Amino acid sequence: MLKVVGGFIAGACFFGVLVYNFMGSMMFREVQSPFGVEETVARIQQNIQNTGNGWALSGLRNPGKAVEADGGNTLPVLLIEACSTKYSGPILKDDSVRFLSNLMPCKISVYKKNDGKTYIGMMNAGFMGGMFGSMVGETMSHVAADQAKFIQFDPSKPAPAMIKGTPGAGASGGSGAGAAGGC
């Protein structure tokens, strides 16, 4: 009996170590971009605007500015914010999952690493959504499918101009219900 209990505890510990080591890579995705930071951002912004499904740009942030203002130095990092009222609406209307509003708007980071290459980081929406029941899981599976479209690039097409500031707040960028500041 002691061997069975010991084996169970050892198995549970092993499983715990696996979850601890791999959960981050399951919750978030990182892919290398064939372009520099600003061109990658511009192409993602254009893809978001062309995807449909209610997606609108709601912001572009540079978290490195705060580090620089504090006397530090960082490689380039830009956060693209986008939201789809088609997907956010049902979640924001449901009291049991409204706490997920802290994940809105959808953020995609584009950054350079010490290897000199540009990367795209984003939440694994399909995996994360599955943890919160069928309605959120279904919704986030659609978000995941759209996110895949956001990072598909056609290198034969010229790079669009990067939209700076808060897209949708002025005359340029975004359209539809989500355009006025996003979700």
**Interval 35-46: pLDDT, tens:** 999 999 999 999
Q: Which of the four pLDDT bands, split at 50, 70 and 90, describes residue 172?
A: very low
- Does the pLDDT at position 152 exceed 70? yes
What's the DSSP call for residue 113? -
- The gap from C-alpha 183 to its chain's centroid, in whole angstroms, comes to 14
* DSSP track, 29-71: EEEEESS-HHHHHHHHHHHHHHH-TTEEEEEEE-THHHHHHTT
- pLDDT for the residue 41: 97
- The gap from C-alpha 8 to its chain's centroid, in whole angstroms, comes to 37
Average pLDDT score over residue span 164-171? 56
- The gap from C-alpha 85 to its chain's centroid, in whole angstroms, comes to 16
For the chain, percent of residues with pLDDT exceeding 90: 52
| Residue 71, both tokens | 């006397």
- Does the pLDDT at position 87 exceed 80? yes
Domain boundaries, the chain: 26-183
- Does the pLDDT at position 170 exceed 80? no
The three-point CA angle 59-146-25 to 5° equals 85
Q: Are 31 and 150 in contact (CB under 8 A)?
A: no
- Does the pLDDT at position 1 exceed 60? yes
What is the spatial distance between Cα 33 and Cα 30, in angstroms, rounded to a whole number?
10
- pLDDT for the residue 177: 38
What is the spatial distance between Cα 141 and Cα 54, in angstroms, rounded to a whole number?
15
| Residue 89, both tokens | 């609406």
- pLDDT for the residue 173: 38
Give whichever of 48-52, 103-107, 162-166, 177-181 has the largest mean pLDDT: 48-52
Q: Decide which of 3.30.365.10, 3.40.1190.20, 3.30.310.70, 3.30.70.100 is the CATH code for 26-183.
A: 3.30.310.70
